[in-house]
């Protein structure tokens, strides 16, 4: 139940992420400066697990994880499972996408439920790169070096929801020349104040968009803007913005 897009320019890149969750899930702490294995990074905190869904480090690497609902398996009582958010956090010290790939090759992910993992950096010969891995509970595949936008997940009617969000992407982004601001508008798309399971800023009786994140990685600084989405009828609060010098 999430949506991810990105944008790049010669002087940096941006990543946009809508986090959708069940209403019964606990809240999250806004992004803060953290350290893992000597690497400084910015990330929000999922309070139930202690993990995260999106992080950006001082090396200029950004990582994001989405649940792959259509390939999830029911958790067996008594079995040991690893939080996907904690798994992502364990990669926070990677300095390049090659290092992420090497870590994935050594670190078994079988104890995690199904996920889609995306990594971003500017370390390649051509500059900006985005790689995608998919863990479908049977095997880990990737990296795919050219995934299409938007990357979406949904726990209900996945095919219909993904198609609806891709249509919105085509209408809002492909015909708008305002660069990353069109992506920002896409991530706030709620069908004119009528959010549903299909809209990017989504709302269902059992789930809704909890936050929208915007990460910018530049040559000297990482900036993480985090907007909590209130319940319907409650005015928006001020976004939380944290920065990290590279």
Enclosing domain of residue 233: 2-153+207-245
Instruction: Check residue 79 and give its pLDDT.
Output: 54
Q: Answer whether residue 113 is part of any domain.
A: yes
Q: Answer whether residue 164 is part of any domain.
A: no
Average pLDDT for the chain? 90
Copy the structure tokens of residue 182. Answer: 């069109």
Identify the residue with better confidence: 24 or 212. 212
Q: Answer whether residue 178 is part of any domain.
A: no
Q: Answer whether residue 234 is part of any domain.
A: yes
Q: Answer whether residue 176 is part of any domain.
A: no
What percentage of the chain exceeds 90 in pLDDT? 69
What percentage of the chain exceeds 70 in pLDDT? 92
Mean pLDDT of 63-92: 82
Confidence tier at 226 by pLDDT (50, 70, 90): very high
Q: Answer whether residue 56 is part of any domain.
A: yes
Q: Answer whether residue 160 is part of any domain.
A: no
Most confident of 70-74, 104-108, 111-115: 111-115
The per-residue pLDDT for range 46-65, each reduced to its tens digit, is 987 789 999 999 999 999 99
Q: Answer whether residue 77 is part of any domain.
A: yes
The per-residue pLDDT for range 108-128, each reduced to its tens digit, is 777 788 899 999 999 866 789
Contact 14/7 with Cβ under 8 angstroms?
yes
How far apart, in whole angstroms, are the C-alpha atoms of residue 117 and residue 135?
8
- The contacts of residue 238 (CB under 8 Å, 6+ apart) are none
What CATH number has the domain bearing residue 92? 3.60.60.10
**Sign, Cα dihedral of 141, 36, 61, 169:** positive
Structurally, how many domains does the chain consist of? 1
Mean pLDDT of 161-171: 93
How far apart, in whole angstroms, are the C-alpha atoms of residue 42 and residue 52?
10
151 C-beta neighbours (distance < 10 Å), count = 20
CA atoms within 13 A on the CB side of 245: 0
């Amino acid at each position: 139940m999430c949506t991810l897009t990105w944008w790049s320019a010669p002087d940096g890149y941006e990543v946009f992420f809508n986090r959708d969750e069940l209403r019964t899930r606990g809240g999250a702490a806004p992004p803060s400066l953290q350290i893992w294995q000597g690497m400084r990074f910015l990330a929000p905190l999922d309070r139930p697990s202690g993990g995260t869904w999106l992080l950006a480090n001082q090396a200029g690497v950004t990582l994001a994880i989405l649940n792959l609902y259509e390939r999830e398996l029911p958790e067996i009582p008594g079995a040991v499972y690893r939080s996907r958010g904690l798994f992502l956090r364990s990669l926070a010290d990677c300095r390049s996408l090659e290092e992420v790939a090497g870590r994935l090759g050594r670190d078994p992910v079988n104890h995690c439920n199904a996920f889609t993992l995306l990594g971003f950096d500017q370390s390649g010969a051509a500059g900006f790169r985005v790689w995608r891995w998919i863990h479908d509970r049977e095997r880990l595949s990737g990296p795919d070096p050219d995934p299409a936008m938007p990357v979406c997940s949904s726990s209900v009617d996945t095919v219909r929801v993904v198609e609806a969000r891709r249509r919105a992407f085509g209408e809002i982004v492909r015909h708008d020349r305002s660069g990353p601001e069109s992506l920002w508008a896409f991530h706030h798309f709620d069908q004119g104040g009528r959010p549903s399971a299909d809209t990017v800023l989504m709302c269902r009786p059992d789930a809704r968009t909890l936050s929208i994140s915007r990460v910018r990685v530049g040559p000297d600084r990482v900036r993480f803007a985090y907007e909590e989405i209130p319940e319907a009828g409650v005015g928006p609060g001020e976004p939380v913005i944290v920065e990290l010098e590279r």
